[in-house]
Structure 1
Amino acid sequence: MKIITIFILIFTSIICKSQKNFSTEYEARYTLDYKLIKSEKEPRLTTFILLMNNKESYFKSMNVYVGDSLMYYKKIKENENSLNNLKYTSEYPENIGITLGKIYVTSPISEGFAAYEESNNINWKLVNEFKTIGNAKCQKAITTKYGRNWIAYFNPKIPLNFGPYKFNKLPGLIVELYDDKDEFHYKLYKFKKRKGLCPFANSYKLKKPVKKEKVYMWRKNMILDMNAYKSIVKEDPETLRESERKLRKLYDDYNTIELSPD
């Protein structure tokens, strides 16, 4: 969708850096099939990277991760607002850091970056059901979190208590995760050891501490920001009115991964 694509570009065009290293021992990569718009017939597809050591993890869109890497090593320019940089944006641009007790999130907003934290208090129920994923026998677990019912399969032979998005605290790496409506479906497609430092992890400055609920409203309200739309798209008044009508429909149909803050 042209309009959604434009707003992704606007939403993630402000990139400000400061260095912060993340000590990495393992790397996992996930696909996500998702419905950004509830009425979409077919899900969209994107990818994420999860960096881990035994005590903490760091989760990020693969597109944003690659873009941050290129900026850190000065292969592309910071603050460059161009269609060429669109491939380094994401509809899910958060940086998510997880420790035993806390979840730390940094998310871009129109003025810079918003930061919030929440308790890492997810509670799972282990289910005596198993399925083979790849060559591994994985166990099922269920939880209710963020307004959705979630099903996970974890591999107990990979003793890392992490997984995609904010999900963690299972006795093994989460290799598959989805909600019961199957609107968001993560699958592990790569896992390997990776020892070293990631020098650009969560490297955004000018972060504004906010309440978590505001981040999701800011993101949704960006869809209705016609002034931002007009600033980069020159169209006649009639076409702009039609675009505004479409934006309002998208606003009503927008599907957030979190339906509630807890």
Structure 2
Amino acid sequence: MKYLLVFSFLCTTFIFGQNSDQTSISVAYLLTFNDRHSQSNSLKEYFNLLVKDDKSIFQTYNERESDTLREKNIAIPTNTNEYFSFNKFSILFDDKNLVFNEKVGSEEYQYSESINLKWQLGNKNKEIKGFQCKNAIVNYGGRKWEAWYTLEIPVNAGPYKFKGLPGLIMKITDSTNSYDFEFFKMRKRDIDRIYKFNHYKPEDQRIIMERKEFNKYKQSYDELSLSEKLNIGSTGSKTIIERVDGEADQTMRRVTDSTIGSSDVNPIEIDHHK
């Protein structure tokens, strides 16, 4: 306990005592999740949150490394799991406005959203990684979430789309325990600005959607079998996902809104079922 408290003090002092216009804060989170209702073992993946003033970027560590390679025009190995990621999305925040990008199949999708979460501050306390935390409750994306934040790190930020509390969010879990983000570590980085992540597709080739439309489409894709996914885009394919905007090629099988929510898929946002 003494070691953790000393670590907490030194870490906070290091980041905020020496902060300048040329630095940003890099926070690592571990996501433990079940994206299938029938999963017996949870999946785990590390994410990185890079924060500079009111701007931030959130994505998995493997996707961030892939971005770096693409930016440098270095080919990403396809015969190795080194850069594999379960979650191929990136979230760029500018104050309360975000741009969400995700690669689904061979395409890249994008939507914009304004976030103004209605937090209910609680009166519970907990220690996480040596930091004293308080709890708060919020509803977002069809799920109820409990967050733990610390006033010892006065940063308005957190994992995924969660922010708006008077301190860094150290842990946040949905009420079904399907998704749990927890603080792992943090450090200062010598970066003077938050830069955009490198996209899979040029801007004019990205597919722009509304948030709920994209979530319907993404779940339709996740409901397909591996062989069906591999067939998408292939010459002579007889399996394709129906775009929620109505633009779909002729197909032998069509996934429609009526099938949404009837499968084993358990996405992080579920309010598109309504």
Which has the larger displacement, 187-196 or 218-227? 218-227
State the aligned residue count.
221
Which has the larger displacement, 105-114 or 57-66? 105-114
> Deviation digits for residues 118-139 of structure 1, max 9, x if unmatched?
1111111111111111221111
CA contact (8 A) 1:24 1:52 kept: no
CA contact (8 A) 2:91 2:160 kept: yes
Structure 1 distance, partners of 2:212, 2:103, is: 14
Structure 1 distance, partners of 2:73, 2:152, is: 39
User: Which one has a bigger Cα radius of gyration?
Assistant: 2
Matched, 1:179 2:174: yes
Cα offset, 1:200, TM superposition: 6.7
Within-5 A mapping of 1:116-131:
116-131=111-126
Cα offset, 1:197, TM superposition: 5.6
Cα offset, 1:196, TM superposition: 1.2
Residue equivalent to 1:112:
107
Structure 2 distance, partners of 1:118, 1:199, is: 19
Structure 1 distance, partners of 2:96, 2:49, is: 18
Structure 2 distance, partners of 1:198, 1:72, is: 17
Structure 1 segments (4+ residues) deviating >3 Å: 197-201, 225-228
Within-5 A mapping of 1:74-223:
74-77=73-76, 82-84=78-80, 86-196=81-191, 201-204=196-199, 205=202, 206-223=205-222
Q: Quick one: which amino acid aligns to residue 186 of structure 1?
A: F
Specify whether residues 229 and 109 from structure 1 end up closer, same or farther in structure 2 by C-alpha distance, changes over 3 A only.
Answer: closer
**TM-score, normalised with respect to structure 1:** 0.75
Structure 2 distance, partners of 1:199, 1:130, is: 32
SS of the residue corresponding to residue 176 of structure 2 reads: coil
CA contact (8 A) 1:72 1:200 kept: no
Residue equivalent to 2:30:
31
> Deviation digits for residues 171-209 of structure 1, max 9, x if unmatched?
011011101111101111111111216887422123222
CA contact (8 A) 1:38 1:253 kept: yes
> Deviation digits for residues 71-106 of structure 1, max 9, x if unmatched?
3234434xx6x332x442322211101222312101
**TM-score, normalised with respect to structure 2:** 0.72
Specify whether residues 26 and 74 from structure 1 end up closer, same or farther in structure 2 by C-alpha distance, changes over 3 A only.
Answer: same
CA contact (8 A) 2:51 2:194 kept: no
Structure 1 distance, partners of 2:86, 2:271, is: 19
Residue equivalent to 2:230:
229
Within-5 A mapping of 1:47-86:
47-77=46-76, 82-84=78-80, 86=81
Structure 2 distance, partners of 1:199, 1:151, is: 28
CA contact (8 A) 1:129 1:140 kept: yes
For 2:265, which of 250, 254, 258 is the aligned residue?
254
Structure 2 distance, partners of 1:177, 1:128, is: 16
SS of the residue corresponding to residue 66 of structure 2 reads: helix
Identity among equivalent pairs (%): 24
Specify whether residues 101 and 230 from structure 1 end up closer, same or farther in structure 2 by C-alpha distance, changes over 3 A only.
Answer: closer
SS of the residue corresponding to residue 190 of structure 2 reads: strand
Structure 2 distance, partners of 1:66, 1:26, is: 18
CA contact (8 A) 1:52 1:58 kept: yes
Specify whether residues 107 and 123 from structure 1 end up closer, same or farther in structure 2 by C-alpha distance, changes over 3 A only.
Answer: same
Q: Quick one: which amino acid aligns to residue 31 of structure 2?
A: L
Residue equivalent to 2:39:
40
- Bigger relative contact order, structure 1 or 2 (CA pairs below 8 A, ≥6 apart): 1
